[in-house]
Structure 1
């Protein structure tokens, strides 16, 4: 090759990999232009691809391990990649890609459902971050809970579809100059991409009092008129455990409502139908004048998810 490739990447040898693929990606971007030939650039991309596969799944660590060691040795400058090794790398990359494209039966069912889902297609066409936006759109069209000028909390906001709807309907960006400007704050354990008109608190656990305090501090006048919750725990497959975790999240949202919801405010909360659903309803009835159970059309029929919409909060 005429050059040891790629010394500047400083990639560690397998199996003691500690470098993140994002770091590798940045280094590839920085140093690819220094490579003199297209073959050298191809090797760089190959190294990056294999490292990404290594981090994606445990099983990939055992695929073509000898070739990976040679690639990493080359990256450390110990050997020089020759033409026959380039062809073997390309062969490995092809089969690695094919291996990654194989789907389990559950993945195939999910993919088939996604491809045939009209809400998924509509979300893509209307630039919503996910199909759940249509659940909130439908509920708001029927119950008119979002209006310009109000403050809204979006619990479990990631990836941000409900916040998109809320920002638009409360005029949080000030797009409609003739209407009052609202405010939207979203919170989630996960990272959330920024959204104009919304304040996000990513990587935040709503169960922590400190996070609830931050939400209250961010609100105008320290109060919200609407609390939205599309939160759900990661399903374990153990029904009773999942129900208990969902109930805890629902009670957490109710506790937040007691703290920041203004008198007459509205709470929209997701829950899973089961033994604890009536318990949640009984607690809502104590502090809201009107409580209804909803199943939006955009919610999949096979899903056990339901929503409580609680109106006219009575602040004690």
Structure 2
């Protein structure tokens, strides 16, 4: 698997990118491969924790039913729970709206030595609010009195702010991954119908899902614009074909493992010379108890 082919570009055209990967594995084959990659990621997590210099932030965006929740569950299943935290950013609370829009993301960032997962991310602020600019009125922004005040300059400003936010993270030791789960409209229809057919899945369905589905093309445009303006070598976007859930999980896991293994300075700390010289003494003390 050549993971570089999933990297986005500054001139990305989502309509030309497949939502199903050219590599086809059976569900059991993809699961078996994921099991191994997942174990290797868990070993890396242990080194990251012991090293205590870097953190990792994995961001996941995608249309409803793209498989974000199940992907996070399966990819990070073998992690030590004390070293990973997931946060999902939905409608801002009153407290969150009383701050700048990035505040609620800052306070949930992973500390050194740990993984952070943003399942729905700071990009909601240039996606949902761009499709529904009326939501911005609740932010009480200077100079934004109605939706007519929200022009391209406003979105360019927000892209710059997000780029600066991520640059600051990287400069302070956070390794940033951004994954867009690229789902087809037809597959979303199938997954919504499945939620309606299976009683145990009914709770996942909301009539609002159908209203948002009617805005599919607008969402695709906004995702494309966000990726174009915020993809860079420091905090890259990866476009993951998401129609096949087991393959999407495997692709994300492989990208994480391959890229993280490039950090040769992330390793277990060495014992001091004194401690190394006294190893036998420590063993003897324990064995003599």
TM-score (norm 2): 0.31
Greater Rg by CA: 1
Which structure is higher in RCO with an 8 Å CA cutoff and minimum separation 6? 2
- Relative to total residues, which structure has the larger strand share, 1 or 2? 1
TM-score normalized by structure 1? Answer: 0.29
* Structure holding more helix per residue: 2
